[in-house]
Amino acid sequence: MAALLEVQNITTQYRLKDGFLNPCDQVSFTVEKGEGMGLVGESACGKSSMALSLMKLLPDNGRIINGQVLLDGRDISRFSEEEMKKVRWKEMALIFQGAMNALNPVRTVGDQIVEAIRIHEKIPEQQAWKRAKMLLESVEIDGKRVRQYPHEFSGGMRQRVMIAMGIACNPKIVIGDEPTTGLDVMVKSQILQLLERLRREKEMGMILITHDLSVVVEICEKVAVMYAGKIMEYGPTDIVFEHPAHPYTRALINAFPNIYGDRQLTASIPGSPPNLLNPPAGCRFHPRCSCARPVCSQEKPELLPVGGGHYSACPLVVR
């Protein structure tokens, strides 16, 4: 059976003053129905650009220059804006970092959820209000609060309202781009549990973008580790984190000594990610890699299977 979402060799390009930059370079992965995939990596490694590429919401200077995004077998990367309007929110939804601040302060949360529903579905207003109440309840907010304004809710609750809006049209797949960043630890864990429950109940696919490995361990079956626009390692979460095959994943895990508990990032990886306007030749991680050899600055490693659905883009290290 074909995967719900099959991303094949996606390359995205931004046109900048000083040249072209590819925030995502030949990225491939799949997400099955009901499956959760974590997309992890340091900031500016291309995770958010990947989300925007999938949704076709790249800024004006950005575009997909290569590859396919198959959603239920249809290549949506070729879809027109008109066609994408039918896909966004109805089939694929994006919940982004700080989304709670995107609520309109002068309209009730109910008004905003109802509007989100009725843009996509021609249903009577009364029915949409009923659904809005149910949606609030599904994100554990009392449905009676549907006529309240955003300022009457806490930050965590507003983020839950945004999740309710994200799932309002029953999408097949939800992308959460750092959906809990900026929230305190308790609220964060409630939101993650909520996303996890909704995913299971509705059998939604989910892509969770985060730099917090412990979140991925908690709720994703699968993980893709991204560095400088490329997937470095990919596979079942437990295998990747317990037997990482790629030096970058190992460094990330070392910077996060207790991925099964404490969420604190305690050490950082020496050096910094490259400027993507002029990425290093060969393996993009080579200037920071403690295992690097001369060949690493010459040959571009490919993401290759290492067994058990596990892939690594480092040919020099075996697990």
48 or 237, CB closer to Mg ion?
A: 48
Contact status: 108 vs Mg ion (CB under 5 A): no
In this chain, which of 128, 141, 223, 296 binds ligand SF4, going by CB under 6 A? Answer: 296
5 with 69: CB under 8 angstroms? yes
- Quote the least distance from Cβ 277 to Mg ion, whole Å: 18
- Quote the least distance from Cβ 306 to ligand SF4, whole Å: 12
Contact status: 48 vs Mg ion (CB under 5 A): yes
Question: Of all helices (H) and strands (E), which one includes residue 116?
Answer: helix 109-120
Bin 70: left if φ > 0, else alpha if -120 < ψ < 50, else beta. Answer: beta
- Quote the least distance from Cβ 310 to ligand SF4, whole Å: 15
Contact status: 301 vs ligand SF4 (CB under 6 A): yes
Contact status: 240 vs ligand SF4 (CB under 6 A): no
Closest to 32 (Cα-Cα) out of 72, 85, 75, 84 = 72
217 or 245, CB closer to ligand SF4?
A: 245
Spell out, one character per residue from 247 to 286, where the chain touches ligand SF4: x when CB under 6 A holds, - when not: x-----------------------------------x-xx
Strand 62-71 and strand 5-16: the pairing is antiparallel
- Quote the least distance from Cβ 132 to Mg ion, whole Å: 29
**How many residues touch ligand SF4 (CB under 6 A)?**
13
Q: Please give the Cα distance from 153 to 142 (Å, whole number).
A: 11
Contact status: 289 vs ligand SF4 (CB under 6 A): yes
C-alpha 81: how far from chain center = 22
14 or 285, CB closer to ligand SF4?
A: 285
C-alpha 250: how far from chain center = 21
Give the one entry of Mg ion, ligand SF4, none that residue 48 binds, where binding means its C-beta sits below a cut-off of 5 to 8 angstroms depending on kind.
Answer: Mg ion
Amino acid residing at 112 = Q
Show the tokens assigned to 109: 């949360």
Q: Please give the Cα distance from 259 to 213 (Å, whole number).
A: 6
Place of tokens 């939800």: 174
Closest to 169 (Cα-Cα) out of 200, 131, 127, 208 = 131
- Quote the least distance from Cβ 267 to Mg ion, whole Å: 21
Show the tokens assigned to 119: 């843009």
Amino acid residing at 256 = F
In this chain, which of 202, 292, 310, 319 binds ligand SF4, going by CB under 6 A? Answer: 292
- Binders of ligand SF4 in range 91-120 (CB under 6 A): none
Contact status: 44 vs ligand SF4 (CB under 6 A): no
The residues of the shown chain that bind ligand SF4, judged by CB under 6 A, are: 246-247, 283, 285-286, 289, 291-292, 296, 301, 314, 316-317
